[in-house]
Amino acid sequence: MFKQDGKKFNSINDLIEHWESKCTWFEKFIEIPFHHKFLNPLRDFYQNLKHLPGNIKRWAPFVWNYKTWDYVYTLQALRTSLEGQLECFYNSKKRGWYHVGIDKDIKKIKVCIELLKRMEKNDYCLMEYKVFKNEKAKYNRMHETEQYDVEYLMKILSKNIKNWWD
């Protein structure tokens, strides 16, 4: 037993029929605008087709070398994506179609890319091999520097990545 608008309905089908009787013709048959159903998917297909060669060129080396067992490949995926975004920002700036803070965004993306490259190399203590004689101090320093880079990268990404779109 279902109740709606003070009326009792024996089954869910009766309730649905009641709701449909209240709907106008427009609400019944034109729920989603035409462009959302047909034109947007066609436009998206065209855009995907247009960007496919560039995406293959950018991502093929990464996909070819990708291994699931190492965090470095996740960092490389993020770096590859940010490099593509940086290229789009440069192109937008060249065309004159850019937002107000694009220079700040470009600078932050460059910082993120450099941090990712440094994390991928994982050579935080090359100079410290010569300086430190104590192994424990050397590895502690290396770990602190790496931890700082990770925290700084996450801080930049968490604050800005939603605003980085072309």
Say what the pTM is.
0.66
Mean pLDDT for the chain overall? 80
Q: Shortest CA distance to 89 belongs to which of 78, 101, 79, 80?
A: 101
Note whether residue 45 is domain-resident.
no
Note whether residue 21 is domain-resident.
no
Note whether residue 5 is domain-resident.
no
Q: How many domains does the chain have?
A: 1
Residue 111: its pLDDT value, please?
94
pLDDT above 80: residue 135? no
Residue 110: its pLDDT value, please?
95
Q: How far is CA 55 from CA 19, 49, 124, 164, in A?
A: 47, 10, 32, 18
Note whether residue 99 is domain-resident.
yes
pLDDT above 90: residue 113? yes
Note whether residue 49 is domain-resident.
no
Residue 99: its pLDDT value, please?
77
Q: Above pLDDT 90, what percent of the chain?
A: 27
Domain that holds residue 162: 67-166
> Which tens digits make up the pLDDT trace of 42-64?
888 898 999 899 999 999 999 99
> Which tens digits make up the pLDDT trace of 76-99?
999 999 999 999 889 888 887 777
> Which tens digits make up the pLDDT trace of 10-22?
777 776 677 666 6
Note whether residue 143 is domain-resident.
yes
